[in-house]
Amino acid sequence: MKLSLVVPCYNEAENVAAFQEAVISAFEGCGYDYEIVFIDDGSKDATLHNLKKLYAAQKCPVKVVSFSRNFGKEAGLYAGLQHASGDYISLIDADLQQRPEIVRDMVKILDEQPAYDVVAAYQDRRNEGKVLSFFKKSFYRIINKLSDVTLQPDASDFRTFRRSVRDSILELGEYHRFSKGIFAWVGYETCFIPYTACERAAGKSKWNFWKLMEYAIEGIIGFSTAPLRLATVLGGVAGISAVLYLIWVILEKLIRGIDVPGYATIIVLILFFGSVQLFCIGIIGEYVGRIFEQSKDRPIYIAKEVLDYEEK
Ligand code: UDP
Ligand code: MG
């Protein structure tokens, strides 16, 4: 049996060596083989240099895939899955927020309980602000209502699964990758275990509020067409209101003889419908943009170098 640890790295120069040490000590005497697949996601610091040192030393089996530029974590995970040769594959961050010991527990669950194909960790306690936590909760509520997949709130990318799951994930070749949705979409029996994220060992997180917002929109657009229906619904409601208002205007004219309705009404209506139309065009645009991106059929990433000990 062999385990592959897929580790996307973006500007993690200070962390990669410590990460490898943590993995080696966590898997000492585990009784199975393991390898680390590092993906250098176009880092601007010495990450690649340090990874090459780890590769040259091979203290434990290490592969390195380096991208020609920053393609994002999702692309990194995709490349890592492609190069992972293990029977079990684990996705884990390079910053030591997710302890490798937990992966050992995950493997144990997969070994002992054949009914499960995936073990996913979710954060039981979060040290984050109320506002952020509110937005995250709302996101899960919205996406679970709108899309046909159900996302487990707080479940992270930190998970371990069988090779069959990896094969299924790789079959989804979409350019805009939203892995939370992809995991839910491919299905398989999933065991959720709680974990507490540690502090980042070094460097800083690449997320901020707007990035999270973008990520949330990515998820909703990628896994639901419900927003498109919004235009139809708004159009319907506006149409019915317009007819009712028309009847009202005619009655007013016939019964009370009031002519030339207010200027304010017209301005409000023009502005209101103008913005509704722009909003709907915007939503359609989001989808059209993605169709455009996908139809270009560009690769999800470009690797400028692949260091594979198996091909040595
Ligand atoms: N990461 C990546 N490409 C990016 C951004 C992040 O490969 O464009 C990696 C990063 O090096 C880390 C993991 O994804 O190993 C998680 O990133 P981060 O720690 O910034 O996210 P957080 O833990 O704050 O959610
Ligand atoms: Mg992190």
Q: Which ligand is nearest to the CA of 6?
A: 1
Alpha-carbon gap, residue 81 to 192, rounded angstroms: 21
Q: How confident is residue 82, by pLDDT bands cut at 50, 70 and 90? A: very high
Instruction: Report residue 299's pLDDT band, with 50, 70 and 90 as the boundaries.
Output: very high
Number of the ligand closest to the Cα of 41: 1
Say which residue, 103 or 135, is predicted with more confidence: 103
Q: How far is the CA of 206 from the centre of ligand 1 (A)?
A: 6
Query: Residue 284 has what pLDDT?
Result: 87
E strands present in 187-277: 190-195
pLDDT tier at 67, thresholds 50, 70, 90: very high
Take atom 5 of ligand 1 and give the residue whose Cα is closest: 73
What's the rounded mean pLDDT across residues 19-48?
Answer: 92
Q: How many CB atoms lie within 10 A of CB 106?
A: 26
Residue nearest to atom 12 of ligand 1 (CA): 93
Report residue 260's pLDDT band, with 50, 70 and 90 as the boundaries. Answer: low
The closest of 83, 78, 286 to 177, measured between CA atoms, is: 78
Pocket perturbation via mutation, ligand 1, pick of 69, 71, 73 by most ligand atoms within 8 A of CB: 73
Q: How far is the CA of 205 from the centre of ligand 1 (A)?
A: 7
Cα of 203 from ligand 2 centre, angstroms = 9
**Atom number in ligand 1 closest to CA 200:** 19
Calculate how far, in angstroms, residue 153's C-alpha sits from the geometric centre of ligand 1: 19
Distance of CA 226 to the CA centre of its chain: 19
Pairing of strands 62-67, 33-40: parallel
DSSP-derived secondary structure for 145-211: HHSSS-PPTTEEEEEEEEHHHHHHHHH---SS--HHHHHHHH---EEEEEE-PPPPSSS--S--HHH
Spatial separation of the C-alpha atoms in residues 149 and 138, rounded to whole Å: 16
Two tokens, residue 264:
């304010």
Which of the ligands is closest to the CA of residue 8?
Answer: 1
Indicate the pLDDT class of residue 38, thresholds 50, 70 and 90.
very high
- Give mean pLDDT, residues 121-138: 80
Q: Which amino acid does the sequence have at 310?
A: E
Ligand 1 centroid to Cα of residue 251, in Å, is 63
**What sign has the CA pseudo-torsion 269, 228, 139, 197?**
negative
How confident is residue 259, by pLDDT bands cut at 50, 70 and 90? Answer: low
The pLDDT tens digits of the residues spanning 160-171 come to: 999 999 999 999
Residues within a 6 A CB radius of ligand 1: 8-10, 12, 41, 70, 72-73, 76, 93-95, 97, 205-207
> Which residue's CA is the nearest one to ligand 1's atom 19?
205
Mean pLDDT of the 112-138 span: 84
How far is ligand 1, taken at its centre, from the CA of residue 275, in Å? 37
Which residue's C-alpha comes closest to atom 18 of ligand 1?
205
Percent of the chain scoring above 90 in pLDDT: 44
Q: Six-digit token pair at 182? A: 């992809």
The length of the chain is 312
Q: Whole-angstrom Cα distance, residue 2 to residue 21? A: 19
- 298 pLDDT exceeds 70? yes
Please say if the pLDDT value at position 84 is more than 90: yes
| Band of pLDDT at residue 114, cut at 50, 70 and 90 | very high
Using alpha carbons, select from 178, 179, 174 the residue that is nearest to residue 293.
Answer: 174
Of the listed ligands, the closest to the CA of 204 is 1
What lies within 8 Å, CB to CB, of 216 at 6+ separation is: 135, 139, 143
Torsion of CA 253, 256, 260, 265, to 10 degrees: -90
Q: Residues 6 or more apart from 253 whose CB is under 8 A from it?
A: 259
Pick the most confident of 70-79, 251-260, 265-274: 70-79
